[in-house]
Structure 1
Amino acid sequence: MDVKSAFPNGFIEEEVYVRQPPGFESARFPDRVYKLRKALYGPKQAPRAWYARLKSFLLKSGFVMGLVDKTLFLLSRGGDTLIVQIYVDDIIFGGSSHALVSSFAVQMSREFEMNLMGELQFFLGLQIKQSPEGTFVHQAKYTRDILNKFEMGDSKPMTTPMSTNTALDVDEDGEAVDQKEFRGMIGSLLYLTATRPDIQFAVCFCERYQASPRTSHPVKRIFRYLKFTSELGLWYSSGSSLSLRGFSDADHAGCRIDRKSTSGTCQLLGTFLVSWSSRKQASVSLSTTRAEYIGWSLAARSQLLWMKATLSDFGLRFGKIPLLVDSTSAISVVKNPVLHSRTKHIDVWFHFLRDHYEKGDIDLVPVASENQLADIFTKPLEFGAFVRLRGYRLKVLTMHSSRERLRANGPASLLSWCDE
Structure 2
Amino acid sequence: MDVKFAFLNGFIEEEVYVRQPPGFESARFLDRVYKLRKALYGLKQAPRAWYARLKSFLLKSGFVMGSVYKTLFLLSRGGDTLIVKIYVDDIIFGGLSHALVSSFAEQMSRELEICLMVELQFFLGLQIKQGLEGTFVHQAKYTRDILKKFNMGDSKPMTTPMSTNTALDADEDGEAVDQKEFREMIGSLLYLTVTRPDIQFAVCLCARYQASPRTSHRQAVKRIFRYLKFTIELGLLYSSGSSLSLRGFSDADHAGCRIDRKSTSCTCQLLGTSLVSWSSRKQASVALSTTEAEYVAAASCYSQLLWMKATLSDFGLRFGRILLLVDSTSAISVAKNPVLHSRTKHIDVRFHFLRDHYEKGDIDLIHVVSANQLADIFTKPLEIDAFTRLRGELGVEGVDNALIKGGIESQWTGLIALLV
For the aligned pair, the TM-score class normalised by the smaller chain equals: over 0.9
Instruction: Report matched runs for 1:149-298 at 5 Å.
Output: 149-217=149-217, 218-298=220-300
* C-alpha distance in 1 between matches for 2:378 and 2:5: 41
Q: Secondary structure at the match of 2:57?
A: helix
C-alpha contact 1:294 1:349 (8 A) present in aligned 2: no
> Which residue is 1:332 aligned to?
333
> Which residue is 1:139 aligned to?
139
C-alpha contact 1:321 1:363 (8 A) present in aligned 2: yes
* C-alpha distance in 1 between matches for 2:156 and 2:201: 21
* C-alpha distance in 2 between matches for 1:48 and 1:141: 32
Instruction: Give the length in aligned residue pairs.
Output: 402
Structure 2 vs 1, CA of residues 12 and 78 (structure 1 numbering), >3 Å: closer, same or farther?
same
CA apart distance, 1:376 = 1.0
CA apart distance, 1:340 = 4.7
Cα deviations by residue, 1:205-252 (Å, 9 ceiling, x for unpaired): 111111111121211111111000000000111121010100111100
* C-alpha distance in 1 between matches for 2:65 and 2:321: 26
* C-alpha distance in 2 between matches for 1:350 and 1:57: 42
Cα deviations by residue, 1:319-361 (Å, 9 ceiling, x for unpaired): 1111110110121121122455752211515531111112222
Unaligned runs of 5+ residues in structure 2 are 405-420
* C-alpha distance in 2 between matches for 1:157 and 1:192: 18
Equivalent position amino acid for 1:380 in 2: P
Structure 2 vs 1, CA of residues 255 and 341 (structure 1 numbering), >3 Å: closer, same or farther?
closer
1:305 aligns with 2:309: no
CA apart distance, 1:300 = 1.3
Instruction: Report matched runs for 1:271-420 at 5 Å.
Output: 271-301=273-303, 303-338=304-339, 340=341, 342-349=343-350, 351-391=352-392, 393-400=393-400
Structure 2 vs 1, CA of residues 305 and 402 (structure 1 numbering), >3 Å: closer, same or farther?
farther
Q: Secondary structure at the match of 2:157?
A: coil
> Which residue is 2:413 aligned to?
none
* C-alpha distance in 2 between matches for 1:339 and 1:179: 46
Cα deviations by residue, 1:272-319 (Å, 9 ceiling, x for unpaired): 111101111111111111111221111111x10000000000000001
C-alpha contact 2:130 2:403 (8 A) present in aligned 1: no
> Which residue is 2:66 aligned to?
66
CA apart distance, 1:254 = 0.4
Q: Secondary structure at the match of 2:318?
A: coil
Q: Secondary structure at the match of 1:344?
A: coil
Q: Secondary structure at the match of 1:7?
A: helix
Equivalent position amino acid for 2:283 in 1: Q
C-alpha contact 2:239 2:273 (8 A) present in aligned 1: no
* C-alpha distance in 2 between matches for 1:17 and 1:403: 54
In terms of mean alpha carbon deviation, does 211-220 or 256-265 score higher? 211-220
C-alpha contact 2:81 2:96 (8 A) present in aligned 1: yes
CA apart distance, 1:270 = 0.4
Equivalent position amino acid for 1:344 in 2: K
Instruction: Report matched runs for 1:118-137 at 5 Å.
Output: 118-137=118-137
* C-alpha distance in 1 between matches for 2:369 and 2:350: 23
Equivalent position amino acid for 1:139 in 2: Q
Structure 2 vs 1, CA of residues 401 and 200 (structure 1 numbering), >3 Å: closer, same or farther?
farther
Structure 2 vs 1, CA of residues 74 and 227 (structure 1 numbering), >3 Å: closer, same or farther?
same
C-alpha contact 1:293 1:349 (8 A) present in aligned 2: no
Instruction: Report matched runs for 1:77-116 at 5 Å.
Output: 77-116=77-116
* C-alpha distance in 2 between matches for 1:169 and 1:279: 16
C-alpha contact 1:162 1:202 (8 A) present in aligned 2: yes
Q: Secondary structure at the match of 1:346?
A: coil
C-alpha contact 1:333 1:340 (8 A) present in aligned 2: no
C-alpha contact 2:157 2:226 (8 A) present in aligned 1: yes
C-alpha contact 2:295 2:335 (8 A) present in aligned 1: no
> Which residue is 2:417 aligned to?
none
Equivalent position amino acid for 1:151 in 2: N
CA apart distance, 1:175 = 2.4
Equivalent position amino acid for 2:257 in 1: C
Please report the TM-score for the alignment, with normalisation by the length of structure 2: 0.93
Identity of aligned residues (%): 86
- Higher RCO, 1 or 2 (CA under 8 Å, sep at least 6)? 2
Q: Secondary structure at the match of 1:216?
A: helix
RMSD (Å), alpha carbons: 1.5
* C-alpha distance in 1 between matches for 2:250 and 2:270: 12
Q: Secondary structure at the match of 1:148?
A: helix
Q: Secondary structure at the match of 1:137?
A: strand
Cα deviations by residue, 1:368-402 (Å, 9 ceiling, x for unpaired): 011111111111112111111111x1111102388
C-alpha contact 2:321 2:362 (8 A) present in aligned 1: yes
* C-alpha distance in 2 between matches for 1:352 and 1:240: 30
* C-alpha distance in 1 between matches for 2:394 and 2:307: 21
Cα deviations by residue, 1:78-114 (Å, 9 ceiling, x for unpaired): 1111111111101111111111111111111101001
Q: Secondary structure at the match of 2:346?
A: helix
C-alpha contact 2:131 2:403 (8 A) present in aligned 1: no
In terms of mean alpha carbon deviation, does 125-134 or 340-349 score higher? 340-349
Q: Secondary structure at the match of 1:233?
A: strand
> Which residue is 2:28 aligned to?
28
C-alpha contact 1:10 1:50 (8 A) present in aligned 2: yes
Q: Secondary structure at the match of 1:246?
A: strand
* C-alpha distance in 2 between matches for 1:388 and 1:86: 36
In terms of mean alpha carbon deviation, does 308-317 or 16-25 score higher? 16-25
* C-alpha distance in 1 between matches for 2:31 and 2:354: 64
Unaligned runs of 5+ residues in structure 1 are 405-420
